[in-house]
Amino acid sequence: MMERLDQNTKTEIFSGIRTEEAGSTPVVPVQHRPEDSFSFRCHRGVSCWNRCCHGADVTLTPQCILRLSHHLSIRPREFLAQYTVPALWERAELPVAKLKMGGEDGKGPCPFVTAEGCSVYENRPATCRYYPLGLATVKLKDAENKDDFYFLVREEHCQGHKEALTQTVATFRHEQGVESYDAVNRGWMDILMKAVSWKVLGGPYGKEMAPQTKKMFFMVSTDVDALRQFVFGTKFLGTYEVAPEALKVLETDDEALLQLGFDWMKNVLFNEKTIIMKQHILQAAVAKVREETGAS
């Protein structure tokens, strides 16, 4: 099964495209590395100020939901109900939450845009931080690790590209506070990437991912309280080994719980040894498979 995933697979995680205009191809087809430079500056003086915060296509990562909920002093479930719409991340056909734009057609303003700019600026989503860069990750056949690269999104309306300020990708990422988001979201991005591979290859053993599994992925991605309830209120802790000292942390630390959720999903989806099943459960599962297949 793992071999099927070991293919050259390129996955765009954040395309950064906000308001794609008909007929335009805003992605500049050049791969950028952290040391590469580009010219861009966004500030209140630009004639397009706030234009990109209308009808924006902003997929929310798990860390985006935690940070925005915290900013608004509400829990993720309330944030989801009030500010997001469920959507399909088509590259992998996985359910995600997107920021709900105003207007019946979703082309209206972001709920957080004001005349002064973004009202949640210090906790704005990762896609908004990345813009006008996109992030893609690639797993080359036979390579041990994945490789990240960046690309420039040059939308017609965005005047920031005409500004004289030149910076490297690394400087821009640092100034936008992207690194801390990537650090928390890494496991989630890994799952997206592998799920894209599966979609390309026809799913596990050529089958579609089960609807229940997709639901679990959505819970892990969006609702840390539901995940906590699942970990502490079901058979989870009787099934998997979790160190007692870790349990204490997981009771209150949302980011730590997310990491457990990602590890669990990787195990469920891809059979990775990211989380260890308790011996008696494992033995019972092996015995069941043997019984079903007639293996000795």
Distance CA 179, CA 126 (A): 10
53, 80, 97, 152: which one contacts ligand SF4 (CB under 6 A)?
A: 53
Rounded distance between C-alpha atoms, residue 183 and residue 124, angstroms: 16
Residue with Cβ nearer ligand SF4 (50 or 267):
50
Residue 102 carries which side chain, given as an amino acid letter?
Answer: G
Does position 26 interact with ligand SF4 (CB under 6 A)? The reply is no
Binders in 113-172 for ligand SF4, by CB under 6 A: 113, 118, 120, 124-125, 128, 131, 157-160
Q: Is 28 in the site for ligand SF4 (CB under 6 A)?
A: no
Binding segment (CB under 6 A) for ligand SF4, from list 106-114, 168-176, 180-188, 203-211: 106-114
**CA–CA distance from 126 to each of 180, 197, 236 (Å)?**
10, 23, 31
Window of 70-78, 84-92, 110-118, 277-285 that interacts with ligand SF4 by CB under 6 A: 110-118
Count CB neighbours of 263 within 10 A.
Answer: 18
What is the C-alpha to C-alpha distance for residues 60 and 127, in angstroms, rounded to an integer? 8
Among 17, 27, 52, 193, binds ligand SF4 (CB under 6 A): 52
DSSP structural state of residue 210: P
Q: What is the DSSP string of 140-187?
A: -TT-SS-EEEEEEE--TT-GGGGS--EEEHHHHHHHTTHHHHHHHHHH
Q: Output the smallest distance, CB 249 to ligand SF4, in A.
A: 30
Question: Which of these ranges, 31-39, 52-60, 85-93, 255-263, lies near ligand SF4 under the rule CB under 6 A?
Answer: 52-60
Residues that bind ligand SF4 (CB under 6 A): 42, 46, 48-53, 56, 58, 110, 112-113, 118, 120, 124-125, 128, 131, 157-160
